[in-house]
Chains A and B, each alone.
Chain A
Amino acid sequence: MAEMRMRDALREALREELRRDPTVFLMGEDIGAYGGSYSVTKGLLEEFGPERVRDTPIAESGIIGAGIGAALGGLRPMVELMTINFSLLALDQIVNTAAKLHYMTNGQMHVPMVIRMASGGGSQLAATHSHSLEGLYAHFPGLKVVCPSNPADAKGLLKRAFRDDNTVVFIEHTANYGFKGEVPDDPDFLVEFGQANVLREGSDVTIVGYSGSVHQAMRAAAMLEEQDEISAEVVDLRTLRPLDMDTVVRSVKKTNRAVIVEDAWKFGGFGGELSAQIMERAFDWLDAPVARVCSKDVPMPYNRDLEFAALPSEEDIVEAVLAMF
């Protein structure tokens, strides 16, 4: 085990996969000479050369299309789209091609591609560059959606993504890149998809989060314990597709209350899906309506104070929990 930041853990995963499998290669905007917008690919160009670590033009649809072609041709590309905001330009390739070919060819074709992108607000990047679109990608059958919250999961899940025979959308929260944690050294360390992680045991309320919101959930749980003697359980979903509802339902049946936390907007969001499934599977165990703590229903403000007011906070979570008692 070694302590490392999440960006280092991601780089370790890429490095190990490049070494392990000669069909793996990386491409994306600024991933080579610049080392990646969030320094995830730093040093990889030097180590593996331009054949396997390729800088691309700013042309998201084209990069994903090239990735799909490479995958169909027998390679295992990792395409970095810099941020999830730009992935909207590649949405047709992702949704209509990458997610569908396996199904539409009755399994004759598959698209083993990993699409990495950064997500989330909080950096004063304003309304167009602060999206949290994890739930959008989770909407489509045919895609797997991975949202790690910590360095060990980031490494284990990314390595697992390279072993998948169809497209994995791998979404990293910008606030998590500097988050430190212990990461196993084992080059065969994998985190399986569809296995939510109970990060903290509790008895009074279940707080469900993924990606960046997990850390807020943990801080809120600590505040609830200290100030209100409320014991909160925190569940980190890790992957939205496949979704491990069993772990969520088991927890809710124990605590009788659920609060869902996500950076995305509440309206039409993934939290609504979670809430509905909790209601469908644990209705008779609920002691309060399922609550959602999400971003305010506005485009993300640029102003720093307004941006923080728009994003969910640990205080919002505490408030939502207290309203259930």
Chain B
Amino acid sequence: MSIEITMPQMGADMTEGILVRWVKSEGDQVSRGEIIAEIETDKATVELEAFEEGVLLRLVASEGETVPVGNVIAVLGSPGEAVVSPPERKEQAAAPGRGTAQGPVAAAAGAPVAAPARAPVADAGSGRLRISPVARRIASEAGIDASSLRGSGPDGRVLRRDVEAAIAGTLQVSNEPPAREGATARPGGVEPLSKMRQAIARRMSQSKQTQPHYYLTLDIDMTAALAFREQFNQAAGEAERVTINDLVVKACTLALQRHPKFNAEYSEEGLVFHGSVNIAIGIALDEGLIAPALLDCGAKTLGTIAREAKDLVARAREGRLRTDEYGSGTFTITNLGAYGVETLIGIINPPQAAILGVGSVMPQAVVRDGAIVARQVMKVALSADHRVTDGAEGARFIREIQGLLENPASLAL
């Protein structure tokens, strides 16, 4: 009869431990109370004793490995006993946030990970998150980290509506009218926040409060890109007619593939790299704003991007987005060129690492080879999470975008 030795919980807040060193080896006889391993927690390195006597049949965890509390690290049994079946590793307990720190994550980027086994617990105040059972369940089913939500209920309790607003805020369009009608913008009156307004308020505040932004702006000479676009559109069918924004999406996709840290996100455990480039596009609506994603842009041609972007915008306006298009973006482009805006410095759409703000293409006098000439210039601004990247990396990334747009032939590939 074999006994599984698991990663012990030493302290209420311990969720995982590092197996620093095995003191005993496979096949060693151990007696009760004997030290078999050293384990490092957040606070200290402690010695792990055997609770039963027996033979260490198998060391499951290797030295240096981080093991969630409760997962098997070794199997103890009688001499000669075989390990019937290697104990299966429990899935890594999903930490708040997404993915793990172990390098690139192959899963669809940003897709909700398995619901956390335990609802997240806020560490403020009493240490326990105030959340109603139904809110906890819905958040868990939707893969939302409830500890990041602000509760609107009594005593700040997170209620069902808060979770639903968060689901909407990843950013679902709800076509429903503001919570209470008849209170529209009268002087001195208070207009209740729509779900979308609440979601925007919360997410933008979260971004500015947790993601230290840095900003880089530069001019892109779009003269060649405009000519390329015209040529492309003459050949393309109606559905695949390319907009300036489509060119920016394609350029960003290529740049993100070459600079994957801008297609990643920050977590306490490390940078989480996304396996695909999902470009979220900011779309203004009467009720607010939504940023659904064009999924897996790396696998799409310019014509496909153009066609799908048109479809995405149309469906966003009709409130017919698919669930996998909400909240799955890995990078966002926000473009107010159509509004005649010169420079747009965006707020990062959390938990992404960066956002590109795009202004209008305007004819400007620029110096080329010592002469002043008129060129079609577009100002772009990169807002990036300084926890993920630094300014020089940002500069290389935004220059990559600039280069791609100024030499647009590669966009056709």
Which A positions have Cβ atoms within 8 angstroms of B? 229, 256, 283-288, 323-325
Interface residues of B in 143-187 (CB under 8 A from A): 153-154, 157, 159-160, 180
Complex alpha-carbon distance, A325 and B161, angstroms: 10
B270: A residues at CB distance < 8 A: none
Q: Is B154 a contact partner of A324 (Cβ separation < 8 A)?
A: yes
Pick the most buried of B132, B154, B157, B159: most chain A CB atoms within 10 A of its CB. B132
Complex alpha-carbon distance, A229 and B135, angstroms: 22
Determine whether B202 belongs to the interface, using a CB cutoff of 8 Å to chain A. Answer: no
Q: Is B154 a contact partner of A287 (Cβ separation < 8 A)?
A: no
A288: B residues at CB distance < 8 A: 132, 153-154, 157, 159
Complex alpha-carbon distance, A229 and B137, angstroms: 26
CB distance from A128 to the nearest CB of B (A): 38
A-B contact pairs, 16 of them (CB 8 A): A256-B132, A256-B134, A283-B133, A284-B136, A285-B133, A285-B134, A286-B132, A287-B133, A287-B134, A287-B160, A288-B132, A288-B157, A288-B159, A323-B154, A324-B153, A325-B153
Number of A-B contacts (CB under 8 A): 31
Q: Is A287 a contact partner of B135 (Cβ separation < 8 A)?
A: yes
Pick the most buried of B134, B136, B153: most chain A CB atoms within 10 A of its CB. B134
B132: A residues at CB distance < 8 A: 256, 286-288
Could you list 12 further interchain pairs (A-B, Cβ under 8 angstroms) beyond the known A284-B133, A325-B153?
A229-B180, A256-B132, A256-B160, A283-B133, A284-B134, A284-B137, A286-B133, A287-B133, A287-B153, A288-B132, A288-B159, A324-B154
- Flag B120-151 by CB within 8 Å of A: 1 or 0 each: 00000000000011111100000000000000
Complex alpha-carbon distance, A324 and B157, angstroms: 10
Complex alpha-carbon distance, A257 and B247, angstroms: 51
Q: Is B134 a contact partner of A286 (Cβ separation < 8 A)?
A: yes
CB distance from A244 to the nearest CB of B (A): 22
CB distance from A290 to the nearest CB of B (A): 11
Complex alpha-carbon distance, A36 and B116, angstroms: 64
B136: A residues at CB distance < 8 A: 284
Q: Is A287 a contact partner of B159 (Cβ separation < 8 A)?
A: yes
Complex alpha-carbon distance, A284 and B132, angstroms: 8
A229: B residues at CB distance < 8 A: 180
B180: A residues at CB distance < 8 A: 229
Complex alpha-carbon distance, A256 and B137, angstroms: 12
Chain B residue nearest to A253 (CB atoms) is B134
CB distance from A321 to the nearest CB of B (A): 12
B159: A residues at CB distance < 8 A: 287-288
Size class of the contact patch on chain B: 10 to 19
A283: B residues at CB distance < 8 A: 133
Chain A residue nearest to B159 (CB atoms) is A287
Complex alpha-carbon distance, A219 and B153, angstroms: 25
Chain A at the B interface: SS class:
loop
Chain B residue nearest to A324 (CB atoms) is B154
B133: A residues at CB distance < 8 A: 283-287
Complex alpha-carbon distance, A287 and B132, angstroms: 5
A324: B residues at CB distance < 8 A: 153-154
Complex alpha-carbon distance, A10 and B98, angstroms: 65
Complex alpha-carbon distance, A285 and B134, angstroms: 4
CB distance from A324 to the nearest CB of B (A): 7
B160: A residues at CB distance < 8 A: 256, 287
Interface residues of B in 55-114 (CB under 8 A from A): none
CB distance from A83 to the nearest CB of B (A): 40
B135: A residues at CB distance < 8 A: 287
CB distance from A183 to the nearest CB of B (A): 39
Chain B residue nearest to A323 (CB atoms) is B154
CB distance from A25 to the nearest CB of B (A): 52
Chain B residue nearest to A284 (CB atoms) is B137
CB distance from A205 to the nearest CB of B (A): 12
B137: A residues at CB distance < 8 A: 284-285
**Closest 9 interchain pairs by CB?**
A287-B132, A284-B137, A287-B160, A286-B133, A287-B134, A256-B134, A285-B134, A284-B133, A283-B133
Complex alpha-carbon distance, A204 and B86, angstroms: 51
Chain A residue nearest to B131 (CB atoms) is A287
A325: B residues at CB distance < 8 A: 153
A287: B residues at CB distance < 8 A: 132-135, 153, 159-160
A285: B residues at CB distance < 8 A: 133-134, 137
Complex alpha-carbon distance, A287 and B153, angstroms: 9
Chain A residue nearest to B154 (CB atoms) is A323
CB distance from A325 to the nearest CB of B (A): 7
Complex alpha-carbon distance, A76 and B132, angstroms: 50
Chain A residue nearest to B182 (CB atoms) is A229
CB distance from A288 to the nearest CB of B (A): 6
CB distance from B190 to the nearest CB of A (A): 15
CB distance from B192 to the nearest CB of A (A): 10
Complex alpha-carbon distance, A53 and B134, angstroms: 55
CB distance from A291 to the nearest CB of B (A): 11
CB distance from B284 to the nearest CB of A (A): 29
CB distance from B3 to the nearest CB of A (A): 34
B157: A residues at CB distance < 8 A: 288
Chain B residue nearest to A228 (CB atoms) is B180
Chain A residue nearest to B157 (CB atoms) is A288
- Flag B348-390 by CB within 8 Å of A: 1 or 0 each: 0000000000000000000000000000000000000000000
Complex alpha-carbon distance, A324 and B132, angstroms: 11
CB distance from B123 to the nearest CB of A (A): 24
Chain A residue nearest to B161 (CB atoms) is A287
A284: B residues at CB distance < 8 A: 133-134, 136-137
CB distance from A230 to the nearest CB of B (A): 11
B153: A residues at CB distance < 8 A: 287-288, 324-325
CB distance from A68 to the nearest CB of B (A): 46
Complex alpha-carbon distance, A179 and B34, angstroms: 79
Complex alpha-carbon distance, A256 and B160, angstroms: 9
CB distance from A213 to the nearest CB of B (A): 24
Complex alpha-carbon distance, A324 and B159, angstroms: 10
Complex alpha-carbon distance, A130 and B313, angstroms: 67
Pick the most buried of A285, A286, A287, A325: most chain B CB atoms within 10 A of its CB. A287
Chain B residue nearest to A325 (CB atoms) is B153
A256: B residues at CB distance < 8 A: 132, 134, 160
CB distance from B118 to the nearest CB of A (A): 14
CB distance from B349 to the nearest CB of A (A): 28
CB distance from A233 to the nearest CB of B (A): 16
CB distance from A180 to the nearest CB of B (A): 36
